[in-house]
Structure 1
Amino acid sequence: MVQSARSRSVLTLYSTADDVQSHRTRLVLAAKGVTYDRVIVDPNKPPEDLIDLNPYGGTPTLVDRDLTLYGPSVVCEYLDERYPHPPLMPIDPLSRARLRLASLRVEMDWLPELDAIRSGSRTADASRKRLRDHLLSSLPLFKAARFFLNAEMSLADCLVAPVIWRLPWLGVDLGREGKPILDYGERLFHSQGFSRSLTPEERAMRP
């Protein structure tokens, strides 16, 4: 169980030990200081109770009393509204839309390359290059503010930071050009929330 005195409510999160989308959700929970039960799932053998809760049998899946939610964006936005402090999205609609669009680009462009590298397929080296190119082409987004397109930590950071954390493990080297991205990562990695979000498997991804 992952606990915090800041919340009296107990949630259950079905999570894998090391995928980005589960880490994203755990980082939101850690940033909010929410108490929850964490159930680690083998994605190749989802337990029967998870299949009963989620017709897709995937993770992350969140259970809050009689409510079951799945789909990373759905789960993370629910948590931000359910536990409003600290807020993880800006107030104005334009900034919120920009962050949502940036997160969608990460999901559509970065994560498939990450999955291909993890799979060890013959195209892994090409995926490393494409992921590196995606990240470096996003340098202006990392330079625009202290966090990803925002002055404060947001839901977008909860998706981006787990990707940056995995880069050495994935064999992706951004070089000197990528220093603003690596500096951004270090700002988040040293926070208590990020540390609380990590599983032992994720801690082992970095020395």
Structure 2
Amino acid sequence: MVQNARSRTVLALYSAADDIQCHRVRLVLAAKGVAYDLVQVDPAKPPQDLIDLNPYNTLPTLVDRDLTLYDTSVVCEYLDERYPHPPLMPIDPLSRARLRLAGVRIERDWLPEVEHIKAGGRPADTARKHLREHLLTALPLFKASKFFLNPEMSLADCLVAPVIWRLPALGVDLGREGKPIMDYGERLFHSQGYARSLTPEEKALRAL
């Protein structure tokens, strides 16, 4: 068990070294300044304790005392409520619903293309084109506010930023048209919280 904190806690996160959903949860924890134990796992060889905790053997998996959570959206919202400062969701129901819906779209539209690219082969080129199109279609959302659909950092940014971070490694170039998206990413990447969220493998994907 690798401790990623100044003091030991009962909170533990089972995480892959380079995975967008795991990075998403680590970014939430970093934004909250929460101390936790990081248990780095090879997804192809889940350890027995993870198998015992999570019937799906999926990552990320969060353990907080006797509670085990393993759906990424559930984990992120739990952490936001469990550690309420700073809040990572707006107060009003309409804004919260918009951010949740944006998260669903990203998980269904963007993340499968990332997996196709990482798998390589001929489908990877098509996936790069599709991911670029999805991102540029969302350009108005990046222009609308300082953060993604919100004036303050939210749980949506914790999903979007890990995707933007990986674009160079994925071979996706947004060109001049995508400059607002890359500028958005740079604002987040240079925060202390973002740096703390990265594993060594993720740091190697691009220069910070």
Q: So what's the TM-score if we normalise by structure 1?
A: 0.97
Question: Counterpart in 1 of 2:137?
Answer: 137
Q: For residues 60 and 170 of structure 1, what CA distance do their matches in structure 2 show?
A: 21
Deviations 1:57-77 (A, max 9, x none): 010000000000011000000
195-204 vs 112-121, which deviates more? 112-121
Three-state SS of the structure 2 residue aligned to 1:63 is strand
Match of 2:182 in 1: 182
Query: C-alpha offsets along residues 123-179 of structure 1, whole Å, 9 cap, x if unaligned?
Result: 000000000000000000000100000000000000000000000000000000000
For structure 2, which runs of at least 5 residues remain unmatched after alignment?
A: none
- Which residue of 2 is the match for residue 54 of structure 1? 54
Q: Is the 8 A contact 2:13 2:63 kept in 1?
A: yes
User: How far did 1:2 drift?
Assistant: 1.4
- Per-residue CA deviation, residues 11-67 of structure 1 (Å, 9 max, x unaligned), is 100000001000000000000000000001101111110010000001000000000
Equivalent position amino acid for 2:14 in 1:
Y
What is the 5 A alignment of 1:111-190? 111-190=111-190
Give 1:122 deviation, angstroms: 2.1
Does the aligned pair in 2 maintain the 1:10–1:64 contact within 8 Å?
yes
Give the 5 Å matches for 1:5-154. Answer: 9-154=9-154
- C-alpha deviation, 1:3, in angstroms: 1.4
> 5+ residue gaps in structure 1?
none
Task: State the alpha-carbon separation in 2 of the partners of residues 175 and 84 from structure 1.
Answer: 38
Could you tell me how far apart the structure 2 residues matched to 1:155 and 1:29 are? 11
Matched residue count: 205
Q: Which residue of 1 aligns with 2:5?
A: 3
Structure 1 residue 121 displacement after superposition: 3.1
Q: Give the alignment's TM-score, normalised by structure 2.
A: 0.97
Runs of 4 or more off by more than 6 Å in structure 1? none
For 2:56 and 2:9, locate their aligned partners in 1 and report how far apart those are by CA, in whole Å: 26
Matched AA of 1:100: R
Aligned sequence identity (%): 77
**Equivalent pair of 1:15/1:60 in contact (CA under 8 Å):** yes
- Contact 1:21–1:60 at 8 Å: present in 2 too? yes
Contact in 2 for aligned 1:10/1:35 (Cα 8 Å): no
- Residue 4 of structure 1, CA deviation: 5.0
